[in-house]
Chain A
Amino acid sequence: MSTMLELARLSHVYGGDHAAIAELSFTVDTGELACIVGPSGCGKSTLLRAIAGLLAPTNGSVFLHGRPVRGVPDDLAVVFQDYSRSLFPWLTVQSNVEFPLRGRVGRTERQDRARFALAQVGLAGAAHKHPQQLSGGMQQRVALARALAYRPSLLLLDEPFASVDAQTRFELEDLLLRVHAEQGTTMLLVTHDIDESVYLGDRVLVLSGSPARVLADLTVDLPRTRDQITTRESEPFVELRSEVARLLRGTPIPVAF
């Protein structure tokens, strides 16, 4: 497998003294769904923003397709945790999904891609509604559809299911797995939920508390097809989630100043 993303000793220090991430190095292969799990406030979002080119790291580099990332890369999409602040309330669902494609692809293709992506996330019927008319889970589906319609080589997801209720979270997790299987998009998902990282990932990268370092890089040895009930009660799942939990408990809790 070819390497999609490579981080080389990536560090970021805020305001001269607050180190958010320290010397992070790892790679993500093409087509992989990698999960990053770490304690809340450990610098996961800083990491994601550095990969997305939204933030210039103080040290180290990010390579996408083997090329160093300077500024926002062209074929990368982000799904943020806060769907209600990431969608545009003045646009319909369809226009929200089309928005990043304007000026990039022609009108017909734009509409087709948006329709296809909305159908993929099960929202074909909601195209002409406005986001605020939808439930939180449906709004996050719109954000996911927007990212998918963009057809990125790398999809970054920043705690995408942290703001929805447990039932919706399970639905969205399975939706993400289905889309990943269908589309084969390389995905890097950041979460603080241990179970979620094991359930979704081909690989789980465990980060320490602030400043974030890679504690472990674990391969998830579970069948690719997963099920919310049977997978979660299977022995490898339980073992792996315990291992991740032990790793995370071993790290000191970051002290807020």
Chain B
Amino acid sequence: MSRFLVRWGVFLAVVACWQILTTLADHPYFPTPLEILDAARQMWLSGTAATLFLSPDAVDALVPSVGRLVGGWLLAVLVGVLVGTALGLSRRFLEYTGPVFAFFRSLPLPALVPVFVLLCRLGTQMVLAVILFGAVWAVLLNTVDGVRTVDRVQMETARAFRVPATRRLLGIVLPAALPKIFAGLRVSLSQSVTLMVVAELFAANGGLGGELRDAQDQFDFAQMWAAVAMIGVLGYTLNTLLLAVERHALGWHPAAGGRRPPARAGGHLVDHA
């Protein structure tokens, strides 16, 4: 509990410093945090009680962004885990396809956006395609890695007890691969946030990226910063949720979950790496 207070105390102190510095500087490009907060309130929380105080703007910006982000990421997870498992089980296939995957993984993800702008219709479909294609590799390659590290003795034990193949897959291969899969999920989630913003900046109606772009066009720095901060909050919230799921799912695993040593408790700050 005290660690929690210290961590958030440091966070508030940094924001307070920022407030003081921007007040002293009084520069139009750098509005104070309070001004940004006010802009955020006007943009997203000026609605009535009937809409939970959310403004129509909030519905236009947040709902599509969160929907595209989560939808695209889940698609990437589904494809990545399914294909990764299949590839991980087949030794030869990976040998031949390894360089292909290594190449796609090394592509700078935002470079894909212009390609998809031309390939897909602008809007949600394009954003989903960008996220799927960009975020799938981290999941896929980590799944392959996880599936291939399943212990030979564990598999032989299962064979000796005549455990059927489907149960070997669901009951042994996937749980054994799960720590690696979760590592892939964390990386792909932060990639998805980046890709969602870049894709929306480029060409999408609504969404946080769209708002960011519009604020920039109108030189409205407070709104621009508000959109940036909101993207940060969104990424942080989703990552925290994912870590909670991981802790629950990997409670047995010494490097994660409940028995994680306290020294690593703040690990989510560096898990984007």
SS class of chain B's interface: helix, strand, loop or mixed?
Answer: helix
B162 touches which of A74, A85, A88 (Cβ 8 Å): A74
Which residue on A lies nearest to B175, using beta carbons? A90
Q: Check B253–A90 contact: CB distance below 8 A.
A: yes
Q: Check A99–B156 contact: CB distance below 8 A.
A: no
Query: Which residues of A lie under 8 Å from residue B175 when comparing CB positions?
Result: 88, 90
A86 touches which of B153, B164, B167 (Cβ 8 Å): B153
Query: Which residues of A lie under 8 Å from residue B157 when comparing CB positions?
Result: 78, 80, 86
Report, as a range, how many residues of chain B touch the other chain.
20 to 34
Query: Which residues of B lie under 8 Å from residue A89 when comparing CB positions?
Result: 252-253
Which residue on B lies nearest to A78, using beta carbons? B160
Q: Is B271 an interface residue (CB 8 A)?
A: no
B residues 19-42 near A (Cβ < 8 Å) are none
Q: How many A-B residue pairs lie within 8 Å, measured between CB atoms?
A: 56
Q: Is A41 an interface residue (CB 8 A)?
A: no
Q: Check A54–B159 contact: CB distance below 8 A.
A: yes
Count residues on chain A whose CB falls below 8 Å from chain B CBs: 23
A residues 44-87 near B (Cβ < 8 Å) are 52-54, 72, 74, 76-78, 80, 82, 85-86
Would you give the shortest CB distance from A145 to chain B, in whole angstroms?
13
Q: Check B159–A88 contact: CB distance below 8 A.
A: no
**Cβ contacts A166-188/B at 8 Å (1 or 0 each):** 00000000000000000000000
A116 CA to B157 CA in the complex, in Å? Answer: 21
Query: Which residues of A lie under 8 Å from residue B111 when comparing CB positions?
Result: none
Q: Check B254–A132 contact: CB distance below 8 A.
A: yes
A54 CA to B160 CA in the complex, in Å? Answer: 7
Q: Check B178–A103 contact: CB distance below 8 A.
A: no
Q: Is B56 an interface residue (CB 8 A)?
A: no
Q: Is A130 an interface residue (CB 8 A)?
A: yes
Q: Is B172 an interface residue (CB 8 A)?
A: yes
A interface with B by C-beta (< 8 Å):
52-54, 72, 74, 76-78, 80, 82, 85-86, 88-91, 99-100, 102-103, 130, 132, 150
Instruction: Return 15 A-B CB contacts under 8 Å, by A number.
Output: A78-B156, A78-B157, A80-B156, A80-B157, A85-B152, A86-B153, A86-B157, A88-B154, A90-B252, A90-B253, A91-B252, A100-B163, A102-B167, A103-B167, A132-B254
